[in-house]
Homo-oligomer: A and B are copies of this chain.
Amino acid sequence: MKPWKTLSRHTILEHSKYLTVENHEIELPDGTIIPDWPWIITPDFVNVIAVSYEGKFLCFRQTKYAIEGVTIAPVGGYIEDNEDPLVAAKRELLEETGYEASQWIHLGSFCLMPNRNKAIGHSYLARDAKYVKPPDSDDLEEQELLLLDQNELEKILLQGEIKVSSWANTVALALLRLKSKEG
């Protein structure tokens, strides 16, 4: 299986550190040329589903600009320049919840838009989390911290209340992994 070739690329929108758009000229394996393939550049990010040493999962009830109503969300945020994903994950957990975790499991690293965006979301399960200090979040949204049992979290997930695919994926992978260890 051959990858597509990028013949040329040029920037068509430079908005901010949150968004740049390029136009790519692409050659397919059969020689077909696509002259105007849009390519979206957005920052990499992390998602963390943390579980406390008492077995409580840390989630937020929050609003987001692109979402109708409220959603349940794991911890998450953008990776800073040159920051290691695991360092970003630990930083976000501490900033948003005030918890630190001793055991970190990488659940996978995933692309959002496989056709036109290379941004990667790194998903983690953080176990044995303990509250160490008050949270200090720079998030713009209103949010409320919830401490959920595993069964409650699975019910919320399967009912579609975690409304973002990268978030639901992080929680679903953590639950599958925990079940496969129990089984």
Interface status of A168 (Cβ within 8 A of chain B): yes
Whole-angstrom CA separation of A66 from B115 in the bound complex: 5
B140/A18 in contact, CB under 8 A: no
Within 8 A of B (CB), among A34-77: 36-38, 40, 42, 61-67, 70-71, 73
B13/A164 in contact, CB under 8 A: no
Whole-angstrom CA separation of A42 from B117 in the bound complex: 12
A2/B67 in contact, CB under 8 A: no
Residue-wise interface mask of A (1-14) relative to B, using a CB-CB cutoff of 8 A (1 in contact, 0 not): 11110000000110
Interface status of A112 (Cβ within 8 A of chain B): yes
Interface size for A (C-beta < 8 A) is 66
A4/B116 in contact, CB under 8 A: no
Task: Determine the chain B residues whose CB is within 8 A of the CB of A110 once the complex forms.
Answer: 163-165, 168
A interface residues with partner B (beta carbon < 8 Å): 1-4, 12-13, 15-16, 18-19, 21, 23, 26, 28-29, 32, 36-38, 40, 42, 61-67, 70-71, 73, 107-118, 121, 140, 142-144, 154, 157-158, 160, 163-169, 172-173, 175-177, 179-180
The prevalent SS among residues of A at the interface is mixed
Task: Determine the chain B residues whose CB is within 8 A of the CB of A23 once the complex forms.
Answer: 15
B165/A71 in contact, CB under 8 A: no
Rounded to whole Å, the gap between the CB of A119 and the closest CB of chain B is 9
Contacts A154-B176, A154-B180; A40 near B65 (Cβ below 8 A): no
Task: Determine the chain B residues whose CB is within 8 A of the CB of A154 once the complex forms.
Answer: 176, 180
Whole-angstrom CA separation of A37 from B62 in the bound complex: 19
A65/B115 in contact, CB under 8 A: yes
Whole-angstrom CA separation of A140 from B180 in the bound complex: 36
A158/B142 in contact, CB under 8 A: no
Task: Determine the chain B residues whose CB is within 8 A of the CB of A1 once the complex forms.
Answer: 61-63, 70, 142-144
